[in-house]
Structure 1
Amino acid sequence: MHKQLSNQQLSRLLTVTAKTVRSDLAQLEQDGLVKRIHGGVCQSEGVDIKKYSLDAMLAQLIEHNLLSDTLGLDSTQGRLRKMKHNVFVLGSFNVDIVANLERFPQPGETLHSSSSSIGAGGKGANQAYAAAKNGANITFMTKIGTDQFSQFARQHLSSTGIANTIIVESSTSPTGTALIYVSEQAGENMIAVNEGANMTLTADEVHAAKHHIINAELFLTQLETNFDAIKLAMSIAKESGAKVILNPAPYHDRTPELLPLVDMITPNETEASLMTGIEVTDLESAKQAAIAIHALGVSSVVITRGADGVLLYENGQFTQVDVLKSAVVDTTGAGDAFNGALVAELAKGSTLHEAAKYANAYASLAVERLGAANMPDASLVAARLNA
């Protein structure tokens, strides 16, 4: 893919020492597979790289009957049947630039930040990470730039436990960024997002991932990616029989266009208000908004209400999930933690009420940590639920 790599790049990509890289390259060059250059390596001319691919090696093993007892074969074509990925997540990857302040600044005011950091973020990446942390088998698709943050994105996603990542690169737009203020007084946040490459995802790129989408049982997306690409991917998922879940954040004026494709929607109070024209300020207005959203064609409505818990509306019945006590440090990514955990539990066969109760507990753990992508371990949820 890269044609040429430095020893340092190989060391980072493979998480081995430079000494190991140099030793291995010497052997690979001796075998005629690579050509060493100053400080790095390039592909040797005339080498058929395809025969070293995973598919080619699996085919060779099958030919020698080494895998026939453990892997199912397609009887008509003699190929490996692809395992189903439980959840396909389409969404954004952003680099989060966070400043922690005693309080939010007033217009025109400059405040000193007590600390700052650069980390991984984006609603799609966060939700995929949270779902993976909670045991779901995830395929995550995103688009990044070819800039100083692209390698950072790849390294982060490779460390998350997400089973399969589909990373598309834009040569014209930068990796998305989010500028985040965190108020130390309230634990609340203010976020400004530049979507960058996320908004350049094309129909052709979605179609290239179609075989992954149609193998999903659940499909989750948000609205930090190109709207038309989202709609296309949702259509493919819907036609293939997947349950389509939409987290309508940040809210988009064209959101109503997506609702006929949606089985479950997870707005917060602000998004529910924008979607329905009903100002959600309390439980009663939240119920009215849920009924209005259901009337637009969505079977299951999950309204997250911050400190007031979660309201569920399904099969004409309301269920309230109460908020759990937590020591709030940073609410950035709380909604993403909730959505990821919710989908993971649904993929395991939990009811909506069971899944929402679990996700609510997981989100209560997430707000006790700094950073949107600092997802807690699923092992902590049981103790929180039993506290």
Structure 2
Amino acid sequence: MLSSCLYHNLFSAKALYFIMKKLSRNERLAVILKLLNMHKELSNQKISTLLAVTAKTVRCDLVQLEKDGLVKRVHGGVSQSEGVDIKKYSLDAMLAELLDRSILNDSMALDSNQGRLIKMKHNVFVLGSFNVDIVANLARFPQPGETLHSSSSSIGAGGKGANQAYAAAKNGANVSFMTKIGTDQFSQFARQHLSSTGIDNTIILESSTSPTGTALIYVSEQAGENMIAVNEGANMTLTDDEIHSAKQHIINAQLFLTQLETNFDAIKLAMSIAKDNGAKVILNPAPYHQRTLELLPLVDMITPNETEASLMTGIEVTDLDSAKQAAIAIHALGVTSVVITRGSDGVLLYENDQFTLIEVLKSAVVDTTGAGDAFNGALVAELARGSTLHQAAKYANAYASLAVERLGAANMPDGSLVAARLNA
């Protein structure tokens, strides 16, 4: 029996099935290597059954492991390559980590009368962009006309939609993510990244005329701040017909989250579908769009930063008092809950005519790129779990404080780390 003692000592068969369905691609690869260390050779069918994935997924995983020199593929199966150090691939540690993320507690409930696990609905639909981030790290930002030498550069995954969906998935939400990319040198990169995130369902559309979106990012090593220029590319070609094709996924969601890096009219249509079918609609109005106010009748909760709140209201947000004035003004436009993220000054909540201030948590800031995305993804995951706005924003604030300690917008931390940060 494959690992029967290990697995069944920890979980029931059904619990294990749901855990395996939650594994990201990298986690699946670690599981396969650990099993090969114990059994030396496995059939593709056995791996498919154990990991609760298709035979095609298994083949793709094994191709990657063989490419990395970790396994040898044989007819109908696979064996471990000689000399592979398996100690760093600890299945026991991985399963413990999955429990720490509360996958069992948050995604399932134990029916004590029936003695079985029941899948619970914490569905989040995220509509948004996928961009390729081209990042240059500099000692400081250049002045106009100035050329500076970059200490390092990189190409990574990004886009507000993809980042927020990834963050929500890392915090235990059942996520469907819809995006649009080009048919270019970056399209396969996009697919590979999204397949490794743990997002439950990705709806990837392709444009034959526009490139995959890109973001050019300067990161100041001195301040840890960033400057970003985005070319939305295929993100802006999303059509009404494509939105209607995903209607059933939108209808099934409890919460609908979007930003403004995709085609505005398509965003508005998707928000209308979500609103009409009882989903709570959350808008992160970034980057600011001149038609943003058109969307507010469809919005239940909005999460601007200080700049976006200023542009929405005409009130220059420079301190707590002006942030409160802006929050009241946004609420007067029809939005029930207002969440203004204020960077190093924390987060301001306005709901039920009451203000709540959440103070920033201490962190070793490395890169603020994607901090807002981390906040929004964690926020929606907690709301889906049933938390109050205050509880969810406090959690999301802590999660964002972990995200800024990492390089790269899409380098999202595990939700299991939040408790320690909150208790520090």
Normalised by the length of structure 1, the TM-score is 0.81
Choose from 268, 280, 287 the match for 2:305: 268
The one-letter amino acid paired with 2:66 is T
Q: 2: distance between equivalents of 1:371 and 1:303? A: 23
Q: Is the 8 A contact 1:11 1:17 kept in 2?
A: no
Q: Which has the higher helix share?
A: 2
CA distance in 2, matches of 1:345, 1:287: 24
Correspondence for 1:305 among 334, 342, 345: 342
What is the distance in 2 between the residues matched to 1:259 and 1:24?
Answer: 55
> SS in structure 2 opposite 1:320?
strand
Q: Which residue of 1 is the match for residue 408 of structure 2?
A: 371
3-state SS of 1:108 partner: coil
For residues 83-136 of structure 1, give each alpha carbon's deviation from its aligned partner in whole angstroms, at most 9, with x where no partner exists. Answer: 856100000000000000000000010000000000000000000000000000
* Residue pair 1:85, 1:215 contacting (<8 A) in 2 also: no
The answer (yes or no) to whether the contact 2:122–2:385 under 8 Å persists in 1 is: no
Q: Counterpart of 2:54?
A: none
Corresponding residue for residue 237 of structure 1: 274
Distance, in Å, in 2 between the alignment partners of 1:360 and 1:84 is 24
Partner of 1:173: 210
C-alpha displacement at 1:17, in angstroms?
3.4
* Letter paired with 2:64: T
Q: Which residue of 223, 229, 249 maps to 1:192?
A: 229
Deviations 1:26-67 (A, max 9, x none): xxxxxxxxxxxxxxxxxxxxxxxxxxxxxxxxxxxxxxxxxx
Q: Aligned AA for 2:131? A: N
Shift of the alpha carbon at 1:379? Answer: 1.2
What is the identity, as a one-letter code, of the residue corresponding to 1:370? Answer: L
CA distance in 2, matches of 1:148, 1:12: 22
Residues 264 and 299, structure 1, Cα contact 8 Å, conserved in 2: yes
- What are the ranges of 5 or more consecutive residues in structure 2 without an aligned counterpart? 1-58, 78-115
Go from structure 1 to structure 2 and tell me whether the alpha carbon gap of 1:372 and 1:152 turns closer, same or farther (over 3 Å shift).
same
Aligned to 1:50: none
Contact 1:11 1:21 in 2 (8 A): no
Q: In structure 2, what is the equivalent of residue 60 of structure 1?
A: none
- The alpha carbon displacement at 1:15 in A equals 3.4
Q: Which amino acid aligns with 1:15?
A: Q
* Alignment match, 1:117: 154
Give the equivalent residue in structure 2 for 1:278: 315
Report what 1:380 is aligned to: 417
CA 266–14 in structure 1, closer or farther in 2 if over 3 Å, else same: farther
* Alpha-carbon displacement from aligned partner over 1:144-165 (angstroms, at most 9, x marks no partner): 0000100000000000000000
Are 2:288 and 2:308, in contact at CA under 8 Å, matched by a contact in 1?
yes
**Counterpart amino acid of residue 284 in structure 1:** D
8 Å CA contact retained: 1:326, 1:364: yes
Equivalent of 1:104 in 137, 141, 152: 141
Pairing partner for 1:132 from 155, 165, 169:
169
2:62–2:73 CA contact under 8 A, matched in 1: no
Deviations 1:216-270 (A, max 9, x none): 0000000000000000000000000000000000000000000000000000000
SS at match of 1:88: strand
What does the per-residue CA deviation read over 1:297-349, in whole Å, with 9 as the maximum and x for residues that have no partner? 00000000000000000000000000001111100000000000000000000
Residue 140 of structure 1 contacts residue 165 of structure 1 at CA under 8 Å; is this kept in 2? yes
C-alpha deviations, 1:251-300, integer Å up to 9, x for none? 00000000000000000000000000000000000000000000000000
Q: SS of the counterpart of 2:327?
A: helix
Change (3 A) 1:85 1:149: farther
Residue 94 (structure 1) aligned with residue 125 (structure 2) = no
Cα RMSD for the two superposed structures: 2.1
Between the two proteins, the alignment pairs up a number of residues equal to: 326
CA apart distance, 1:377: 1.1
- Structure 1's unaligned 5+ residue stretches are 1-9, 26-69, 73-81
SS in structure 1 of the partner of residue 215 of structure 2: strand
SS at match of 2:368: coil
Spell out the pairing of 1:268-347 with structure 2 (5 A cutoff): 268-347=305-384
In structure 2, how many angstroms separate the alpha carbons of the residues matched to 1:118 and 1:245?
A: 29
Counterpart AA for 1:235? S
Please name the residue that 1:44 is paired with.
Answer: none
Distance in 2 between the 1:20 and 1:206 partners?
43
For the pair 1:258 / 2:295, whether they are aligned, the reply is yes
TM superposition shift of 1:23 = 4.4
Match of 2:64 in 1: 15
Counterpart residue identity of residue 146, structure 2: E
Distance 1:161 1:191 in 2: 27
Matches of 1:332 and 1:293 in 2, distance apart? 26
Runs of at least 4 residues off by over 3 Å: 10-25, 82-85
Cα distance per residue 1:185-211 (max 9 Å; x no partner): 000000000000000000000000000
One-letter code of the match for 1:353? H
3-state secondary structure, aligned to 1:237 = helix
Q: 2:245 aligns with which of 200, 204, 208?
A: 208
Could you tell me how far apart the structure 1 residues matched to 2:349 and 2:384 are?
18
Kindly, what percent of the aligned residue pairs are identical? 87
The answer on whether the counterparts of 2:256 and 2:279 sit within 8 Å (CA) in structure 1 is: yes
- TM-score scaled to structure 2, two decimals? 0.74
Does 2:390 correspond to 1:349?
no
